[in-house]
Amino acid sequence: VEFLYCDLASMKSIRQFVQQFRAKNCPLHVLVNNAGVMLVPERKTEDGFEEHFGLNYLGHFLLTNLLLDTLKQSGTHSHNARIITVSSATHYVGKLHLNDLQSRCWYSPHGAYAQSKLALVLFTYRLQHLLTANGSHVTANVVDPGVVNTELYNHVFWVVKVVKWMTAWLFFKTPEEGASTTIYAAVSPEMEGAGGCYLYNEERTKSADVAYDEELQRRLWTESCKMVGISDEASRLP
């Protein structure tokens, strides 16, 4: 096992990481987008993005796009490379504000978090559409890990922390249990060649209706390219 440092809240760090990884000339068969923050107070990344949107979504958007060529070269007809992005059931109540993705007009930790998780689902569906259109041997799926007992809840109200402390053993998944669907998406033979799926408890399920809005997927993709400074070649595809 080898570790390379990558700060998903920094576009510079992401680009440096990709350069270091490419220099190793290694294939890339599985990419898991799993970093995230939840319900943090209003603050910005070093690039000036609202932290939920910048770290949870834009960081993964840039990382995935910069690694796409390597993923395409690594996948084969019988063994597709796989991209797994971790979202949340919170996306069901999320709203994407294309005219205010940075939550500048009105900031809500819950709203910003839910928007970032919805953006990840929209991104995954658009990405799979583009991969299919290009005939790439790469699949993209999105995972809901469930409610997992981790440090992600550091910024919730103290009352919620107390309830979590008292009930986590009964209602929360362990980190190992929370990772099971991600692992399933990454290595299960049943997922070979399957893309554009929303997975929960190792089963394909339906995401929020708005996530299937192809026009919204396209608009978010185009805007995201502008924000992270990459070319939007996908805009020429249907």
For residues 16 and 22, give the distance between their C-alpha atoms in angstroms, rounded to a whole number: 10
Decide: residue 47, CB within 10 A, 0-12 exposed, 13-18 middle, 19+ buried: middle
Decide: residue 32, CB within 10 A, 0-12 exposed, 13-18 middle, 19+ buried: middle
Instruction: Report CA Rg, the chain.
Output: 17
Residue 38 has what pLDDT? Answer: 83
* Residue 99 Ramachandran class (φ > 0 left, ψ -120 to 50 alpha, else beta): alpha
For residues 23 and 15, give the distance between their C-alpha atoms in angstroms, rounded to a whole number: 12
What residues form DSSP beta bridges with 33? 85
CA-nearest of 122, 126, 125 to 53 is 122
Residue 221 has what pLDDT? Answer: 97
Residue 150 has what pLDDT? Answer: 52
For 31, list phi and psi in degrees, rounded to 5: -120, 120
Positive or negative, the CA dihedral 86, 90, 91, 95 is: negative
Residue 234 has what pLDDT? Answer: 59
Tokens read off for 27: 């294939």
Query: Is 149:172 a contact under the CB 8 Å cutoff?
Result: yes
Residue 151 has what pLDDT? Answer: 53
pTM for the predicted model, two decimal places: 0.88
Positive or negative, the CA dihedral 103, 108, 113, 114 is: negative
Starting at the earlier edge strand, list the strands of the sheet with 203-205. 30-33, 81-86, 138-144, 198-200, 203-205
Tokens read off for 174: 């362990």
- The domains of the chain are located at 11-235
- Max alpha carbon distance in the chain (Å)? 53
Active site residue 113: yes
Residue 117 has what pLDDT? Answer: 96
What's the gap between Cα 210 and its chain centre? 17
Which position among 57, 113, 153, 184 bears the catalytic label? 113
Which H helix or E strand runs over 140?
strand 138-144
CATH number of 11-235: 3.40.50.720
For 142, list phi and psi in degrees, rounded to 5: -125, 145
Per-residue model confidence as pLDDT tens for the chain (238 residues):
899 999 999 999 999 999 999 999 999 999 999 988 887 889 999 999 999 999 999 999 999 999 999 999 999 999 999 999 999 999 999 999 999 999 999 899 899 999 999 999 999 999 999 999 999 999 999 998 866 445 544 544 434 444 444 454 445 657 677 688 999 999 999 999 999 999 999 999 999 999 999 999 999 999 999 999 998 875 555 4
For residues 45 and 199, give the distance between their C-alpha atoms in angstroms, rounded to a whole number: 29
